[in-house]
Structure 1
Amino acid sequence: MRQKNGDIILGGLFSLHDTVVEPSLSFTSTPTPTQCTRFNFRTFRWMQTMIFAIEEINRDGSLLPNITLGYKIYDSCSTPHQALKAAMELMGSVNGSVAEGDMQGKGSCRGTVPVVIGDGGSTQSLVVARFLGVFHVPQVSYFSSCACLSDKNEYPAFLRTMPSDFFQVDALVQLVKHFGWTWVGVIAGDDAYGRGGANIFADEVIKFGACIAFHEIIPKNRAQTAISSIVSMIHSSGARVILVFAVEQDTAALFDEALRVGLTGIQWLASEAWITAPVLSTPKKYHRILQGSMGFAIRRAHIPALQDFLLRLHPASPDTLEDPFLIPFWEEVFQCSVDVQAQHQEHSVGGKPPCTGAEELGSVENIFSDVSQLRISYNVYKAVYAIVYALKAMRSCEKGKGPFPLQACPDADNIQPWQLLHYIKQVKYLNSFGDEIKFDENGDPAAMYDLINWQLRPNGEIEFVTIGKFDETTVGKQKLQIQEQNIVWNGNRTNVPLSVCSSICPPGTRKAIRPNFPICCHDCVVCTAGEISNQTDAIDCFRCLPEFWSNAERTACVPKQVEFLSFSDTMGITLMAISLIGSFCTCVVVFIFSYHRTTPIVRANNSELSFLLLFSLTLCFLCSLTFIGQPSEWSCMLRHTAFGITFVLCISCILGKTIVVLMAFKAKLPGSNVMRWFGPVQQKTIITFCTLVQIIICIVWLVVAPPTPRQLMPRESAIVILLCDEGSRIAFALVLGYIGLLACLCLLLAFLARKLPDNFNEARLITFSMLIFCAVWVAFIPAYISSPGKYSTVTEVFAILASSYGLLGCIFAPKCYIILLRPEKNTKKHLLSKAVTDQF
């Protein structure tokens, strides 16, 4: 214990040692006292800062005139039970025990320590705060940041100059969100500080859509197997950004294992417990993996004259006898043994050379004398002054205007801890560094952090570069402000590291969640045809409007390709060529028949009907051209009516020829004068009447519901189909049905006359031609119905051409063959002999 008497004694708790060696319990003898080991230079500086502040206040005398402050400082050895033991000793330091009345509500403490500064670790403070809270003894911590300590129901007397982890976590979450990291690992120390902060961080990160890759705990015994398992988890997780929320001792154990296995390429996020810890930044062995680390640290300040105060220490000074911690500190710094009085011999380390007495702290550089990063030390400084301002307010109370029942003022000569607690909660002042010091209703200060980036200097040392800040008190602006251009990331890179479970889905794809994986883990699925996504990480693809289709990249909707039977595509060119060839062949036949019009084979069976049939066949071939090209109102009306009328004209001519053949045989029978009813005039009348019926049907069709161009925009197709809608399906069926009726009638008559002694067997030729005609159009109906898009038009054109070629070939090809190649058969003698032969 380090102590100094005064009118008012301030208690202090500092973890001057990092670990405790537990004695072996044999249960056969009294166990030896616990021994604290691993002296912490950084914490020793914090303790000296408390002493410095107290002496500064005593020298000034303006805050507490005629009052001298003293202190009692204990080492809590970084363990809860040592901290509790030290707190109990502080409370019972004068009268030997805690007064019985202290167990009741507002009890008073008859000891001389009305307030305690400390402890550093949250785990120790939890134990101490629960104990001191029973007696309403105010406790002002300088480094305990666990959010759980803000619960005034559990810890009514706890205050702190260290911001709550709730605000630090808020800053860390905003940092993760700012850089777009969605796959973050979390490692926590096995204490209230680590577990509490890491749990809040995990909960808050998930709220904005990011995921926790893993959540591991560093055990307090720092077992090799457990830490090795954590490092293996880092390897397998794929996370490139990892938050370590732990005290510096636990963090050092983790990084030792990371160095051993060669873990690199990780962007470490630090909690304020180790972001400025020299135990990690000073040894160069950590620089390779920690360079570029980033985290939030509490605001720092430069405390004038503090360094001179620290460097004044020496074992030969009068303070040596009052400070039991100075000897082990000195021996640890200079690795020598101080030859002092016998009561201090136990602090000497065997095997160390004796100190010469010429050692000076100014000649060495260590954590203790480094005042460039006064952050926790500044918190200690603020804690002392906050208590002093509370004491000043107590002593300034005017009678009859006090804050207590009956407007009573506190007794300044007999300070009650619960009264001092009231005044500490009300503290509000602006210190010499320009910072406003006050506590909120939870005993927490305003949260202000510096964003620290570890950057490697050319000389190989780590520099803590402030690259931003987080101010919880900011109103109307962003709480987090970052100078990204000043950041150096792990691996000495300047580009922001990527830490995602799955790669970013580019435009044209959507995210598909992997089963049994966190929401951040997904596959990128290409949008289906007709759907697009025009942003990264799209959750869903959007379907294009009916007249649009997705482009090849699936990033934009473009107008659908218009499809119709065109003169420019292969199918259209082919059909057009076949149509023109057919019409040319028909014209050739016309020319042949015209040239040989006086020959018997041409004159037989009414040559006028033959020429009219050839003319109608030419129209049939040419009407197929109206089906090719972009549909319009006129082309749609023309194609169907032209098709219906020309084919009826053609079939009517064939029907006339068939009737002539059949009636010619009847006319040869004795006493028959039937031919006078089927002469040329009657034949033309039959053709005209049959054609006129079709013309009337087509006129009614065009008047009532004409064919019109129509667009088909199927959802699952990239094309807009332009076609001609029939308008009236009944009219279209009547047109086809009438053609079919005439064709069937013609086929029937031709079939009946197939064996008659007709010249050149024309009845048989007509029978074959009508069989082909009917077969083509019977096959056309199902093919037309089932053909998609422009292929329905192609089917109709093909049926027109096939039936036209069938009629041309079956009826006129044999006659052209005889005219051109067998002229000897194209004689009247041959016709007469053939007719006689056929009769027998």
Structure 2
Amino acid sequence: MALLYATLLTLWFLLCIGVQSQYKNKDKCIYQGDEDTYTFYQGGDVVLGGLFPLHFSPISLVSSFRIKPNSTKYKFFTPRALRWMQTMIFAVREINQRQDLLPNLSLGYHIRDSGDDIPVSVKRSLLLVNGQPERGSGQSCEDTQKQPSPVIVGEASSGISMAVLRSLSSFKIPLVSYFASCSCLSNKREFPAFMRTMPSDLFQIKALVKLVHYFQWTWVGVIGVDTDYARFAIQLFLKESEKFNICPAYVHLYPVALTQDAAEELVKILKYSSATVIISFTVDSYLHGILKECRRQNVTHLQWIASEAWATSKALWEDFGDLLKGTLGFAIRRADIPHLGSYLRRVNVSVAQTSHFLSEFWEETFSCRMNGSLNTHVHGEGVQNWPPCNGSESLDDVYTPYSDVSQLRVSYNVYKAVYLIAHALNDMSTCVPGKGPFQNGTCGSLNQILPWQLLYYMKRTHFTTLGEDVRFDDNGDPIASYDLMNWQKGSDGSLQLVRVGFYDASLEDDKDLLIDEPVIMWHRGEKAPESLCSQSCLPGSRKARQKGKPVCCFDCIPCAEGEISNQTDSNDCLTCSKETWPNQAQDQCISKTLEFLSFQEPLGIILWAFSAFGACAALAVLGVFIMYRKTPVIRGNNMELSFLLLLFLCTCFLIGLTFIGKPTDWLCRTRYPAFGISFTLCISCILAKTVVVLMAFRATLPGSNVMKWFGPAKQRSSVILCTFVQGLICIIWLTTKPPVAAYNTKFMSATITVECAVGSEIGFWCVLGYIGLLASLCFLLAFLARKLPDNFNEAKFITFSMLIFFAVWITFIPVYVSSRGKYMVAVHVFAILASAFGLLLCIFAPKCYIVLLKPERNDKKHMMKK
């Protein structure tokens, strides 16, 4: 118990001493943690903070928690990022030398390496905004060695910028990024203190989609490193590409710490995909492993499209120039910063020894070791094996991205970021008390810069630098402008970044992208490669989507009859109007040709010839009958009705001609009544002849005087009466709904049928029906009289003629109804000619045979012989 009491008393005493010591030093700032002296620092009235990824790919160490962990080591050192750091220093010094900008205020800088790592970046951003006393100095918090920064220029990565902002935004400390392009950072609700001189990915994606659409690539591969930048960019690309029917063949995110298995998996996707164009959202350092695996698997056919993060990076060309030749990508705006090149090349051995960053750069560039080197870059053979630097090394003798000022793009963004802050401070310094933007008209404090006041001025600042009018929208984003760069191989094998177009978001939608296509050097061949899931459907066909596949995968289906497509890759075919019809290629509608039975075509000529021949034959028979009118055969078979019948048959043959030629209203109104009346006259004459035959045999009976009712006058009257009924039907038809010429377009045909519409169907069929009625009556009577005892009984010939008449017209009806266009008219004419020839041959051919060939039988004795 005594031992326990003594122990508790000792602990209480030590605690009291600690509290007393802390109370005595309550006004002192004591740095907790490792001292971080790797910086570029210069004091001033306002010290601007800077975060740049000088190193990247930290080597993970497994801590035992028994000893203090060693400082972080990195795989790669970036001379390009060192140029960005030096550009910030150059801009600060340039502003301090100006008399028209901040004449009474000096700027300083405090620049740190972010290590391209979130924990390191957050830690060092807090060091920037809090300042850092020297270890053990015990200085007051107001008198630290390095002043706190009210604003930070950084970071390059979108993901790291988001992490830093989540730490600093609560204090409204502005972060001005020079390379973070993720559109997610434009969310002012989540990141209210963020601004950038780098355009948002939203504009880059629109430019990329329009580039892909311009070259008609509808089937593209999309890959990216698994970071916020790539994820948001790919999401935007997929959404925007839907507007132009662009489909991703695959979308693949690979890890930042790329393993061999992950690289092999991705390259297999690239190798076996039908897409030949690939869009990569990454930075050059993360693409190295992918390209190395592409070479190992011999995947050399791809046309690469670079995001702005690596569109102008030359770091990959030396090892993978054969794979990346012809690469296209949008790069941010380029500028020539006067005197920057000479400033960068001022570094020599003595200057390099003044800074850890410059010392490491010097060693990396010349592969030599300086005295007291603290190089944290890991090499395969080790830094210790490098020979000492002899002092004769010069940047003029080597190429390094650090001193390359031919493509100042990100460096220019850094330059603009510094000038943005300077102009905002200048606006604060010129504020008139009482007219300021803050409460009660107060101005921003210059003695102790408040970050939220500086942020207010920064958001409203616009200025001109190096000829560019720099403005920002409500989200703190600059107006987007990109150069379209093409990777071409120079005569000496070096990379030539050739500007082959541009994209300017401030221009109209159809003019914002301009491409000088002849200047482009492609990866393979002289023409742009094809990257399609399906070949384009030519005009005259339409697309039919393949089931279960994206919209870019389709089959080409020819347009149906009567339809066209006049564009490539049409989704639907268009129906031609009633007056037009597709051409043979089915890519345009042309005027239909008029179709009718004409005198010039073979069918019309044949029918015309038969009509003329039939009329001439009827007239020839009539001439024979007139010449031999006094012979018993002619006189014994009702000569007057025979003459009339021959004239009417001649008319029937000629009526067929009215059906040939282009129909008109008057021709249509003449055609059908003439047809009906002429055949009615013929059948009426035949009917009268049949009745006379029957009555003639009745008259031979004793006491019969029936023939007095069927004399020549009565016969003519019966013909007129029967024809009168048909004429009455035609008159009613013509006065109610007469036939008219019509242009028939309801049938899918390349022609417009000019035809005679019957008008009243009832009228048309009444005319045919009446002729059929007379023919039926005639056939019945002739059939009854066919066996009457006579050496030359005309009734049996009339019976045969009526059978032919019925056969023709019964066959005519279904054929007529099923026919279309001029063939319907031809069927009608054929029926007229066939029935007329049947009557002529059956009734008059036997008589002509007797008269002309058997004159010995043409006498009264032979006629009276039974």
Question: One-letter code of the match for 2:43?
Answer: G
TM-superposed deviation, 1:48: 2.6
1:657 and 1:324 map into 2 onto residues whose CA distance is: 135
Q: 1:551: which partner in 2?
A: 583
In the alignment, structure 1 residue 2 sits paired with structure 2 residue 39? yes
Match of 1:454 among 487, 491, 502: 487
Q: Any idea what SS the aligned residue of 2:383 has? A: coil
Match of 2:367 among 335, 341, 355: 335
1:332 and 1:375 map into 2 onto residues whose CA distance is: 23
Q: 1:369: which partner in 2?
A: 403
2:133 and 2:89 map into 1 onto residues whose CA distance is: 25
Aligned residues: 817
Q: Any idea what SS the aligned residue of 1:735 has? A: helix
Question: TM-score when scaled to structure 1?
Answer: 0.86
Q: 2:673: which partner in 1?
A: 641
Change (3 A) 1:402 1:525: same
In the alignment, structure 1 residue 45 sits paired with structure 2 residue 68? no
Contact 2:745 2:753 in 1 (8 A): yes
Change (3 A) 1:468 1:635: closer
Q: 2:320: which partner in 1?
A: 285
Q: 2:336: which partner in 1?
A: 301
Contact 2:178 2:198 in 1 (8 A): yes
TM-superposed deviation, 1:19: 0.8
Change (3 A) 1:263 1:293: farther
TM-superposed deviation, 1:22: 0.4
1:647 and 1:67 map into 2 onto residues whose CA distance is: 119
Change (3 A) 1:145 1:609: closer
2:743 and 2:619 map into 1 onto residues whose CA distance is: 37
In the alignment, structure 1 residue 205 sits paired with structure 2 residue 238? no
Match of 2:751 among 719, 722, 726: 719
Q: 2:58: which partner in 1?
A: 20
Q: Any idea what SS the aligned residue of 2:418 has? A: helix
Contact 1:773 1:803 in 2 (8 A): yes
Contact 2:77 2:377 in 1 (8 A): no
Question: One-letter code of the match for 1:581?
Answer: F
1:478 and 1:688 map into 2 onto residues whose CA distance is: 82
In the alignment, structure 1 residue 799 sits paired with structure 2 residue 831? yes
Query: Which piece of structure 1 moves more, 407-416 or 74-83?
Result: 407-416
2:160 and 2:194 map into 1 onto residues whose CA distance is: 13
Change (3 A) 1:586 1:484: same
Query: Which piece of structure 1 moves more, 603-612 or 50-59?
Result: 50-59
Query: Which piece of structure 1 moves more, 211-220 or 497-506?
Result: 497-506
Match of 2:279 among 226, 229, 243: 243
1:74 and 1:370 map into 2 onto residues whose CA distance is: 22
Match of 1:617 among 649, 658, 678: 649
1:190 and 1:23 map into 2 onto residues whose CA distance is: 22
In the alignment, structure 1 residue 172 sits paired with structure 2 residue 204? no
Q: 2:72: which partner in 1?
A: 34
Match of 1:629 among 661, 665, 668: 661
In the alignment, structure 1 residue 775 sits paired with structure 2 residue 807? yes
In the alignment, structure 1 residue 572 sits paired with structure 2 residue 572? no
TM-superposed deviation, 1:490: 1.4
Q: Any idea what SS the aligned residue of 2:115 has? A: coil
Change (3 A) 1:771 1:3: closer
Which digits, 9 at most, give the CA deviation of each residue in 1:771-827, with x for residues without a partner?
322333333333333332223322222222222222223223334444455555445
Q: Any idea what SS the aligned residue of 2:310 has? A: coil
TM-superposed deviation, 1:410: 6.0
Question: One-letter code of the match for 2:239?
Answer: D
Contact 1:206 1:212 in 2 (8 A): no
Q: Any idea what SS the aligned residue of 1:759 has? A: coil
Question: One-letter code of the match for 2:718?
Answer: I
Q: 2:467: which partner in 1?
A: 434
Question: One-letter code of the match for 2:320?
Answer: K
TM-superposed deviation, 1:42: 0.9
1:49 and 1:166 map into 2 onto residues whose CA distance is: 27
1:637 and 1:794 map into 2 onto residues whose CA distance is: 18
Q: 2:20: which partner in 1?
A: none
Question: One-letter code of the match for 1:78?
Answer: D
Query: Which piece of structure 1 moves more, 532-541 or 552-561?
Result: 532-541
Contact 1:243 1:270 in 2 (8 A): yes
Change (3 A) 1:735 1:457: same
Question: One-letter code of the match for 1:372?
Answer: S
TM-superposed deviation, 1:424: 4.3
Match of 1:444 among 472, 477, 480: 477
Q: 2:390: which partner in 1?
A: 356
CA RMSD of superposed structures (Å): 3.7
1:161 and 1:484 map into 2 onto residues whose CA distance is: 27
1:156 and 1:544 map into 2 onto residues whose CA distance is: 58
TM-superposed deviation, 1:38: 1.3
Match of 1:73 among 101, 107, 111: 111
Which digits, 9 at most, give the CA deviation of each residue in 1:509-557, with x for residues without a partner?
4444444444444444433333334444444443333233222233433
In the alignment, structure 1 residue 83 sits paired with structure 2 residue 121? yes
Question: TM-score when scaled to structure 2?
Answer: 0.84
Contact 1:182 1:210 in 2 (8 A): yes
TM-superposed deviation, 1:364: 0.9
TM-superposed deviation, 1:20: 0.8
1:739 and 1:438 map into 2 onto residues whose CA distance is: 95
2:320 and 2:761 map into 1 onto residues whose CA distance is: 89
Q: Any idea what SS the aligned residue of 2:581 has? A: strand
Change (3 A) 1:783 1:58: closer
Match of 2:618 among 552, 574, 586: 586
Q: Any idea what SS the aligned residue of 2:316 has? A: helix
Q: Which runs of 5+ in 1 are unaligned?
A: 98-107, 836-840
Question: One-letter code of the match for 1:648?
Answer: T
Match of 1:482 among 502, 510, 514: 514
Query: Which piece of structure 1 moves more, 490-499 or 685-694?
Result: 490-499
Contact 1:336 1:352 in 2 (8 A): yes
Contact 1:10 1:116 in 2 (8 A): yes
Question: One-letter code of the match for 2:53?
Answer: S
Q: Which runs of 5+ in 2 are unaligned?
A: 1-37, 136-143
Question: One-letter code of the match for 2:150?
Answer: P
Contact 1:168 1:296 in 2 (8 A): no
Contact 1:150 1:443 in 2 (8 A): yes
Q: 1:653: which partner in 2?
A: 685
Q: 2:34: which partner in 1?
A: none
Residues 437-836 of structure 1 correspond to what in structure 2 (within 5 A)? 437=470, 440-472=473-505, 474=506, 480=512, 482=514, 484=516, 487-491=519-523, 499=531, 501-594=533-626, 596-699=628-731, 701-702=733-734, 705-820=737-852, 822=854, 825-833=857-865, 835=866
Q: 1:151: which partner in 2?
A: 187
Contact 1:600 1:826 in 2 (8 A): yes
1:630 and 1:332 map into 2 onto residues whose CA distance is: 95
Question: One-letter code of the match for 1:580?
Answer: A
Change (3 A) 1:112 1:812: closer
1:632 and 1:344 map into 2 onto residues whose CA distance is: 103
Contact 1:292 1:488 in 2 (8 A): no
Query: Which piece of structure 1 moves more, 496-505 or 142-151?
Result: 496-505
Contact 2:207 2:513 in 1 (8 A): no
Q: 1:103: which partner in 2?
A: none
1:6 and 1:418 map into 2 onto residues whose CA distance is: 22
TM-superposed deviation, 1:246: 1.5
